């Protein structure tokens, strides 16, 4: 069997391919909400990739960074949505 570190590094590379597809949508996207959807997808994939990376190198600090990144990206998504909606802050 392949060891765990190689497996999770392969997982990280596959997740990078997914985020590249979302980046193409960010570049092409005709309207602003399309780009926000792409950014949201990239954020989720980066969180999962951080957890897989921490598993590959057996470092728990990467997973802590992933938790903080999840909440920060959530707040940024809410702010961009509020801005697109045209509401008052």
Partner 1 sequence: MIFDIIIYVFLGIGIFFNLLAGVGLLRFPDVYTRLHAGTKCTTFGSIFIVGSVILIGLKWWWENDANGSVLALHSIFALIAILLTNPVGAHAIARAAHRSGVKPAMAVVDHLDESSQLKPMKRKTKSKKKAEEKEDE
Binding region for partner 1 (CB under 8 A): 1, 4, 7, 11, 14-15, 17-22, 24-25, 31-34, 36-38, 40-41, 44-45, 47-48, 51-52, 54-55, 58, 60, 63-64, 66-67, 70-71, 73-74, 77-78, 80-82, 84-86
SS3 21: helix
Q: Shortest distance, CB of residue 80 to partner 1, whole angstroms?
A: 8
Q: Which of 78, 79, 52 is nearest to 65 (CA)?
A: 52
Task: Return the DSSP state at 1.
Answer: -
Q: Could you tell me if 33 and 59 are in contact, meaning their C-beta atoms sit under 8 angstroms apart?
A: no
Assigned token pair, 14 = 């596959």
Q: Shortest distance, CB of residue 70 to partner 1, whole angstroms?
A: 4
Alpha-carbon distance of 35 to 49, in angstroms, equals 21
Q: Shortest distance, CB of residue 89 to partner 1, whole angstroms?
A: 14
């Amino acid at each position: 069997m392949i060891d765990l570190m190689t497996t999770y590094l392969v997982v990280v590379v596959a997740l990078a391919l997914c985020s590249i597809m979302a980046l193409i949508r960010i570049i092409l996207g005709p309207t602003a909400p399309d780009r926000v959807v792409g950014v949201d997808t990239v954020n989720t994939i980066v969180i999962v990739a951080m957890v897989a990376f921490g598993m590959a190198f057996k470092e728990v600090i990467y997973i802590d960074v992933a938790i903080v990144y999840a909440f920060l990206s959530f707040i940024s998504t809410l702010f961009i949505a509020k801005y697109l909606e045209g509401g008052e802050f």
